[in-house]
Amino acid sequence: MSQSALYATFARADVAFERGEGSWLYTADGDAYLDMMGGVAVNALGHAHPRLVAALKAQAEKLWHVSNVFRIPEQEAVAEKLADLTFADRVFFCNSGAEALECAIKTARRYHFVNGRPERVRIVTFEGAFHGRTLATLAAGGQEKYLEGFGPKAGGFDQVPFGDPEALDAIIGPETAAILVEPIQGESGVRPVEPQMLRHLRELCDRHGLLLVFDEVQTGMGRTGKLFAHEWAGVTPDVMAVAKGIGGGFPLGACLATEAAAAGMTAGTHGSTFGGNLLAMAAAGTVIDVVAEPEFLEAVRAKGLRLKQKLAGLVDTHPEVFETVRGEGLMIGLKCRKPAGEVVAAMRARKLLCVGAGDNVIRFLPPLTISEAEIDEAVHRADAAATDIEAASRKGAAA
């Protein structure tokens, strides 16, 4: 692997996949892995979903890309779908989560600028947040390990501890523009923000004239069993970043905003060469149509409950390996007592794919199309992996 010409930025597992189908990934040798990480919440409809493949093929034969200097009816249609299904009136398409966040941050600052409050530039964020890897989103996330060695931290971000209303009150000042939060923190370990806290943030924003920005890059597009996770709390943001699942595997990000919040984003203030590419629109239109069906979301909730309950059972049977289970829908975190990296590797040895997170948590982010039988099989494999870990540590203790 050291021979690879790639940047060494990823600590990659030494396994490669050649094709996928539904919740399964296959190596060139034909080994089948049960995919409980879905490309980190990207493959919302699993692999090679027939409707997604058909939509992409049909578009590929017509037109791939036209510049955003032209009207793109397919883009308008997908934006319309999102607006109909959410709080939003306006959508900006880009290519990733970090880009969606960049647009959200610019939208919030610009809102105050055009409303005669140009001093309002600061964004309040939360410890443990992850908003992407661009210079601004790294500053928003505030995690030292990601900022080190990359020069001056982009200014204008104030971070408060997770779930500390007093610190929040204290940090809001005359220069505050917005509060930015993930309804469930993903990368830092599937840490849900309490619904009453989200409602409190909405009240704070209303009281101080701030914009509320939700990062639903990981929690959105049906992941938690609602189209967007904030629906659980019954509050809506002014601006929202979406990506990961929305393209079902085709790179796409979107920044959604109310008419008022987006009012400052006039011609020339923002742009993207690839954003809203026709292939991406074909994929996203299909993903949205499938996921937004009430029965589909109902099934995600039922399957999520099944997975969570069965994993809670594993916590009981393997108390040396697992500690607690948390999360919503098909965004489930299993906090481990053994190092999460070892647990992920043990599961991979049992041909079960999950992904690590902060707080010594492993995440299950399977395709939303996963079947109940596949969930049972995943838990069965996780059980076997935990037994392997226990056997290895008994051996280690005996040696």
Annotated binding-site ranges: 97-98, 130, 133, 215-218, 272-273
Catalytic-role residue among 92, 93, 130, 364: 130
Binding residues for N(2)-acetyl-L-ornithine, as ranges, are: 133, 272
Comparing CB distances to ligand PLP, the nearer of 35 and 215 is: 215
Q: At what angle do helices 294-317 and 372-398 cross, to 10 degrees?
A: 20
Residue position matching structure tokens 């299904």: 85
**Which one of 63-71, 212-220, 286-294, 299-307 is the stretch in contact with ligand PLP (CB under 6 A)?**
212-220
Establish whether 35 is a catalytic residue. Answer: no
Comparing CB distances to ligand PLP, the nearer of 52 and 229 is: 229
Q: Binding of ligand PLP at residue 275 (CB under 6 A)? A: no
Comparing CB distances to ligand PLP, the nearer of 190 and 299 is: 190
Q: Binding of ligand PLP at residue 243 (CB under 6 A)? A: yes
Structure tokens of 350?
A: 């049992």
Closest residue to ligand PLP, Cβ-based? 97
Q: Looking at the chain, how many residues does it have?
A: 399
Whether the Cβ atoms of residue 72 and residue 93 lie closer than 8 Å to each other: no
| Nearest residue to 307 via CA among 290, 324, 289, 331 | 331
For the chain, state the CA radius of gyration: 21
Name which position in 112, 122, 131, 308 contacts ligand PLP (CB under 6 A).
131
Establish whether 29 is a catalytic residue. Answer: no
Chain-centre distance of CA 324, in angstroms? 21
**Which one of 102-110, 215-223, 345-353, 375-383 is the stretch in contact with ligand PLP (CB under 6 A)?**
215-223
Name which position in 130, 157, 228, 250 contacts ligand PLP (CB under 6 A).
130
Whether the Cβ atoms of residue 128 and residue 188 lie closer than 8 Å to each other: yes
Touching ligand PLP, residues 177-196 (CB under 6 A):
182, 186-187
CB 247 to ligand PLP: min, Å: 10
CB 115 to ligand PLP: min, Å: 27
| Nearest residue to 213 via CA among 330, 116, 85, 88 | 88
Name which position in 158, 215, 238, 383 contacts ligand PLP (CB under 6 A).
215
| Nearest residue to 276 via CA among 291, 256, 292, 254 | 254
Catalytic-role residue among 226, 244, 335, 338: 244
CA distance 79 to 217: 16
Name which position in 55, 138, 217, 221 contacts ligand PLP (CB under 6 A).
217
Q: Binding of ligand PLP at residue 105 (CB under 6 A)? A: no
The strand ranges marked E within 355-395 are 355-357, 361-364
Establish whether 157 is a catalytic residue. Answer: no
Q: Which residues of 302-311 are buried (b: 16+ CB within 10 A; e: fewer)?
A: ebbeebbebb
Catalytic-role residue among 215, 250, 335, 383: 215
Binding residues for pyridoxal 5'-phosphate, as ranges, are: 97-98, 130, 215-218, 273
Structure tokens of 24?
A: 């399964």
Q: Could you tell me which residues come within 8 angstroms of residue 164 by beta carbon, excluding any fewer than 6 positions away?
A: none
Q: At what angle do helices 73-85 and 278-291 cross, to 10 degrees?
A: 30
6 residue type, one letter: L
Name which position in 59, 75, 96, 224 contacts ligand PLP (CB under 6 A).
96
CA distance 26 to 18: 6
Q: Binding of ligand PLP at residue 238 (CB under 6 A)? A: no
Q: Binding of ligand PLP at residue 47 (CB under 6 A)? A: no
Binding mask 312-351 for ligand PLP (x = CB under 6 A): ----------------------------------------
DSSP per residue, 84-99: HHSS-SEEEEESSHHH
Beta-bridge partners for 360: none
Please give the positions annotated as active site: 130, 215, 244
The residues binding ligand PLP (CB under 6 A) are: 96-98, 101, 130-132, 182, 186-187, 215, 217-218, 243-244
